[in-house]
A = this chain, B = another copy of it.
Amino acid sequence: MELGIIGLGKMGGNMAERLRRGGHTVVGYDRDPEVTDVGSVEELVERLSAPRAVWVMVPAGKPTADTVHRLGEVLQPGDLVVDGGNSHYVDDQRHGEELAAKGIGFVDCGVSGGVWGLENGYALMVGGDDDNVKRLMPIFETLKPEGEFGFVHSGKVGAGHFVKMVHNGIEYAMMQAFGEGYELIEASPLVTKVPETFLSWQEGTVIRSWLLDLLNRALANDPELDDLRGYANDSGEGRWTVQAAVEHAVPLPAISASLFARFASRQDDSPAMRVVAALRKQFGGHAVESVGDGDSPGADVNPPKV
């Protein structure tokens, strides 16, 4: 079928290519003149025949909001917009309502797959009305991996980005799990073969997984992970996961612990722990100021010879 794509970066460009290989007619717009097919969003819309479908593949937040708003101005009733970026599901709901008021459909699509997606397909998590999703199925069928998995229509508008967000939250805790396990094994004087241990786990264990494979790839190149600092950014989706959980009163101890560990990893010095240190100093400090023993030793440090 015919599809407009706005945003032809690494992801959008590859998706356009996979769709063309799959026999679809793709008109792409990007502000980079070297990769764009058309000179403007208006021209993109003119090049498509109604009812149109336009896939938005630009950064989440203002760029996506601006693009959706612009499409609302230039598309016609019966047209359809897909947000394939990493938008917050709350934004989807607003965008869906904004476009619905103009008779334009909206579908959100969480996309996983990275640079290998061009060859292997992209995992797609979709939210929207049945009719709109159905119209886009030829596109989804081409983008998704072969086989029975890798595509789901999870629910209403916002559901696609919601489940992609939770996917990333789960991912945070799984990564943290491997990190904690690695650190504990490394701390034990009993264990002398750390990378070999992780490598052996790829077969026959309960924790075998793609993330374990990735960790083993990393350990193969850098057996003690010496080339890296213990510093981890977060992408926003982990934060949204915790905030959504708080909103829905869902306990999320392991995922939030994983997010907080990343926050802490980026601190040179923890203000919270400066407070703890200050309190400990108060306990044991100058005699005139100290009125308790805190968690400092209550007993003598001068044991008898017995």
Contacts and interface: CB of A to CB of B under 8 A. Distances in A.
B275 A184 contact: no
A261 B263 CA distance: 12
A244 B24 CA distance: 45
B192 A150 contact: no
A230 B63 contact: no
Q: How many copies does the complex hold?
A: 4
Contact of A214 (B188, B255, B279): B279
Contacts of A152: 193, 196-197, 199-200
Given A225-B278, A266-B249, A294-B114, A303 B7 contact: yes
Interface residues of A, number: 183
Given A206-B210, A251-B263, A261-B272, A167 B154 contact: no
Contacts of A185: 162-163, 166
Contact of A294 (B150, B171, B277): B171
Contact of A250 (B154, B187, B297): B187
A274 B219 CA distance: 11
A235 B272 contact: no
A176 B9 contact: no
Interface string A119-138: 01111110100000000000
